[in-house]
């Protein structure tokens, strides 16, 4: 049976070049990178530092600003918790559209440390209300503030005006953390040009291995950040524990490949997305696109989110049986089969409408082709007949 994998926002296939370099690392570089007394340890240490330099170069950062983690969830947790404990943050401004690794963490911090957490209003189509953000920055100006807003939403693909948010944070002397997990490796980013203090990445979103990611910490903030765990002094003392060497090497290779072909791949993916939009409109002329996912330059090319006009909780499984892999949204909420995600609920207030529709996230990758879209459209046509 022909199959089409269209859930790249959840995870991407690992590139063959990445697998090869990881296998070579597993075979020939087994030394502990903290064992600097002998060549085995020095060899693995050099692999880590070479990877750090390569990663930094791809996002225009300094190597010392890159701290390796086990992935995106740990990365977001580490930044948010460290900001409260080490930077003495008293107020966090965020949005109801963030990933659960941000939302649940800020609420936990609020309970444990009695910090204020305020949510920025969401305008039509899931647009962050930046006027409301400025109001909240003004009101809390005397407090130490952290703003946490994702660059590209992982469900509806909306792009944040990163520069405008960064300038507001600078104006009111607030720290700025952005979950850039859907961005890094899939979209241009320049850490020295923007005003982000902290950013996060996860390798499996850009054709690298699972279980490895990194934090970007702007150099001026490095000395203020301390480990939340006791142990060794790895990763500048911010994230102790023996490094995941083959994961780091795989991440570095994947990111290097991603940015070497970025413009070509972005054009290909945007064309696939545009084709998918036009074909969906043909079979469902009144189709509803969620957020700004159908608008170029307002959303990341990799994500398209729609409402399917039929309430069927087995819809995703029916599509899977037809060879189509899509999702209803974030993979972190996949066990809640009958529940609409917090992102879709936040941008759609009509409960009656929600009871009639099924949200679908279609996410494209570099290995997708036009034939994958055709398989998806054919599957929808068959479902519509039933």
Q: Which domains does the chain have, with CATH numbers?
A: 4-12+262-385 (3.90.1150.10), 16-260 (3.40.640.10)
More confident residue, 222 or 59: 59
Residue 232 pLDDT: 84
Q: How far is CA 171 from CA 138, 167, 175, in A?
A: 10, 6, 11
Residue 19 pLDDT: 98
Q: What is the DSSP secondary-structure string of 273-326?
A: HHHHHHHHHHH-TT-EE-TTTTSBTTB-TTEEEEEESS--TTHHHHHHHTTEE-
| 336 pLDDT tier (thresholds 50, 70, 90) | low
Pairwise CA distance, residues 6 & 363, whole Å:
5
For the chain, the first-to-last Cα distance in angstroms comes to 21
| 332 pLDDT tier (thresholds 50, 70, 90) | low
Pairwise CA distance, residues 321 & 386, whole Å:
15
Q: What is the mean pLDDT of residues 322-331?
A: 84
pLDDT surpassing 90 at residue 227: no
Pairwise CA distance, residues 132 & 120, whole Å:
6
Q: Are 136 and 120 in contact (CB under 8 A)?
A: yes
Q: What is the mean pLDDT of residues 38-52?
A: 96
Residue 333 pLDDT: 53
pLDDT surpassing 60 at residue 331: no
pLDDT surpassing 70 at residue 263: yes
pLDDT surpassing 80 at residue 347: yes
CB within 8 A of 86, min separation 6: which ones? 224, 225, 226
Residue 231 pLDDT: 86
Per DSSP, the three-state class of 108 is: helix
pLDDT surpassing 90 at residue 247: yes
Residue 118 pLDDT: 98
**338's tokens:** 């009958």
Strands of 213-217's sheet in order across: 66-69, 213-217, 198-202, 175-178, 145-148, 91-94, 116-119
Pairwise CA distance, residues 355 & 220, whole Å:
49
**272's tokens:** 């696939």
pTM here is 0.95
91 tagged catalytic? no
Q: Please give the distance of CA 103 from its chain centroid, rounded to a whole number.
A: 14
Catalytic, out of 91, 116, 169, 332? 332
DSSP H or E stretch at residue 42: helix 39-58
- 313 exposed, middle or buried (CB, 10 Å; 0-12, 13-18, 19+)? exposed
Residue 230 pLDDT: 83
| 293 pLDDT tier (thresholds 50, 70, 90) | very high
Q: What average pLDDT does the chain have? A: 94
Could you report the per-residue pLDDT of 163-199, keeping only the tens digit for each? 999 999 999 999 999 999 999 999 999 999 999 999 9
| 233 pLDDT tier (thresholds 50, 70, 90) | confident
Strands of 303-308's sheet in order across: 288-289, 303-308, 358-363
More confident residue, 28 or 227: 28
| 162 pLDDT tier (thresholds 50, 70, 90) | very high
């Amino acid at each position: 049976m022909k199959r089409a994998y269209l859930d790249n926002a959840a995870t991407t296939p690992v590139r063959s070049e990445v697998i090869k370099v990881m296998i070579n690392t597993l075979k020939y570089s087994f030394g502990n990178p903290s064992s600097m007394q002998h060549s085995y340890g020095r060899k693995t240490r050099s692999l880590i530092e070479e990877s750090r330099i390569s990663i930094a170069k791809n996002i225009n950062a300094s190597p010392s600003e890159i701290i390796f983690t086990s992935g995106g969830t740990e990365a977001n947790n580490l930044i948010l918790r460290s900001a409260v404990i080490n930077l003495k943050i008293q107020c966090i401004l965020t949005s109801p559209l963030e990933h659960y690794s941000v939302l649940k963490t800020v609420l936990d911090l609020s309970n444990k440390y009695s910090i204020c957490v305020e949510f920025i209003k969401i305008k039509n189509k899931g647009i962050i209300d930046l006027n409301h953000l400025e109001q909240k920055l003004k009101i809390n100006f005397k407090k130490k503030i952290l703003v946490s807003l994702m660059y590209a939403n992982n469900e509806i693909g909306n792009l944040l005006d990163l520069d405008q948010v960064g300038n507001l944070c600078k104006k009111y002397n607030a720290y700025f953390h952005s979950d850039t997990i859907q961005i890094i490796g899939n979209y241009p980013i320049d850490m020295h040009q923007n005003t982000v203090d902290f950013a996060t990445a996860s390798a499996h979103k850009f054709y690298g291995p699972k279980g490895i990611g990194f934090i970007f910490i702007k150099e001026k903030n490095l000395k203020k950040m301390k480990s939340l765990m006791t142990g060794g002094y790895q990763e500048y003392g911010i994230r102790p524990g023996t490094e995941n060497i083959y994961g780091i090497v795989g991440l570095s290779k994947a990111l290097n490949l991603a940015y070497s072909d970025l413009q070509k791949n972005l054009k290909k993916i945007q064309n696939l997305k545009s084709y998918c939009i036009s074909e969906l409109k043909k079979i469902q002329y009144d189709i509803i696109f969620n957020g700004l996912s159908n608008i170029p330059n307002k959303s990341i090319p990799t994500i398209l989110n729609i409402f399917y006009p039929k309430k069927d909780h087995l819809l995703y499984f029916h599509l899977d049986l037809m060879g189509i892999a899509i999702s209803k949204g974030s993979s972190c909420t996949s066990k809640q089969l009958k529940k609409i995600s917090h992102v879709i609920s936040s941008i759609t207030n009509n409960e009656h409408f929600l009871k009639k529709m099924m949200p679908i996230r279609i996410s494209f990758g570099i290995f997708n082709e036009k034939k994958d879209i055709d398989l998806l459209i054919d599957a929808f046509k068959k479902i519509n007949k039933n």
